[in-house]
Amino acid sequence: MKKIKVAVLGVTGAVGQEFLTILEQRKFPIESLKLLASGRSAGKTIPFMGRTYKVEEAKPTSFEGLDLVLSSAGGSVSRELAPAIIKAGALMVDNTSAFRMDPEVPLVIPEINPEDIAKHKGIVANPNCSTIIMLVPLWPIHKVAKIKRIVAATYQAASGAGAKAMEELQMQTGDFLAGKKITPKVLPHQIAFNVFSHNSKIGPDGYCEEETKMVKETKKIFHDAAIQVTATCVRVPVLRAHSEALFIETEKAVSVDEVRALLGKAAGVKLVDDRERNYFPMPLEATGQDDIFVGRLRADPTVKNGIAMFVSGDQIRKGAATNAVQIAELAFKVN
């Protein structure tokens, strides 16, 4: 098996750290590893598979001789360094929003459109975490009954805003229970014992960036410009793993039992749908898992051919790092 010269760009962030975990767990064939971050993190040491690596400052000259760059350092950094990565001949699997809607860049969920990877010109984009968690369980249904419309409501964990937001949730929870005053610093509002509209910019149409990403990315990944998608994205006081309530309308009638059978054998999906025990997907149980948990399957009688469900998925794993490593595995045919 060919071994790959790998760099992790943005290694000190939550997703960057998870890249290392996933690479080790999936036994990705690494010949050499370079850890890159901002100048503030340069010099830090990080253990990986029995060795200690020193973090280097990411510069345009950092990529010579590499095969793969797993990037999660922010959109501006990705845009700045992408030309150097491509010039060096490496494949950039980018976890930011920088290139997702670029028509020249494949946007890939391996369970859905792996064939798009072959079209890359040096960059493959990783979709938004909420999009991945939504589409992995919807794709098996779409292939059979063609989904016309999706209505999504998300319940997004602090992890989606990064490691510092996760720390803020923990700190605020302790402060709240101790009766102390809470002053938000990372997120715009109190996250402990509260929910609020997703903390991305609101556009002139009233939709935030997160909601707009889910709409546009679905069309691109499904190769279906006609599919209708609307979303309401909310931040909730969960440490890790996003959940979503999904309501779909299909062109062809499909029963709940047929949907359950499809999802029961679908790649990347774990069916958690026990009505007798009122036991369905929970972010607590989806945390640390790569499968998207799916349940609360039921007919939506308010529309023709309507199905409703509830899903949970680990935002840092399948919503980010795992999906990117899976793309790399396919690109380099390591499995």
Q: Which residue has the tokens 């700045």?
A: 80
Residue 125 burial (10 A CB sphere; 0-12, 13-18, 19+): buried
Give me the helix-helix angle, 14-25 and 322-331, nearest 10°.
Answer: 50
Whether residue 113 contacts residue 218, with contact meaning beta carbons closer than 8 Å, is answered with no
**Distance separating alpha carbons of residues 76 and 39, to the nearest angstrom:** 15
Q: Which helix (H) or strand (E) holds 141?
A: helix 129-145
**Which residues does the annotation mark as catalytic?**
129, 242
pLDDT score recorded for residue 333? 92
**Distance separating alpha carbons of residues 139 and 263, to the nearest angstrom:** 9
The tally of CA atoms less than 13 A away on the side-chain side of residue 119 is 12
Tens of pLDDT, residue by residue, the chain (335 residues): 689 999 999 999 989 999 999 999 999 999 999 999 999 999 999 999 999 999 999 999 999 999 999 999 989 999 999 999 999 999 999 999 999 999 999 999 999 999 999 999 999 999 999 999 999 999 999 999 999 999 999 999 999 998 899 999 999 999 999 999 999 999 999 999 999 999 999 999 999 999 999 999 999 999 999 999 999 999 999 999 999 999 999 999 999 999 999 999 999 999 999 999 999 999 999 999 999 999 999 999 999 999 999 999 999 999 999 999 999 999 999 86
Residue 285 burial (10 A CB sphere; 0-12, 13-18, 19+): middle
Strands 51-54 and 45-48: antiparallel
pLDDT score recorded for residue 2? 85
pLDDT score recorded for residue 316? 95
Q: In order of start, what are the domains of the chain with their CATH numbers? A: 4-127+320-331 (3.40.50.720), 131-315 (3.30.360.10)
To 5 degrees, how large is the angle CA 181–CA 183–CA 187?
140
pTM summary value: 0.96
Whether residue 157 contacts residue 170, with contact meaning beta carbons closer than 8 Å, is answered with no
Beta-carbon contacts of 280 under 8 Å, excluding residues fewer than 6 positions away, are 272, 273, 274, 295, 296, 310
Amino acid symbol at 2:
K
Please spell the DSSP secondary structure of 114-127, one letter per residue. Answer: GGGGGG-SSEEEPP
**Distance separating alpha carbons of residues 324 and 290, to the nearest angstrom:** 12
204 Cα distance to chain centroid: 26
**Would you call 324 helix, strand, or coil by DSSP?**
helix
Structure tokens given for 215? 């709409």
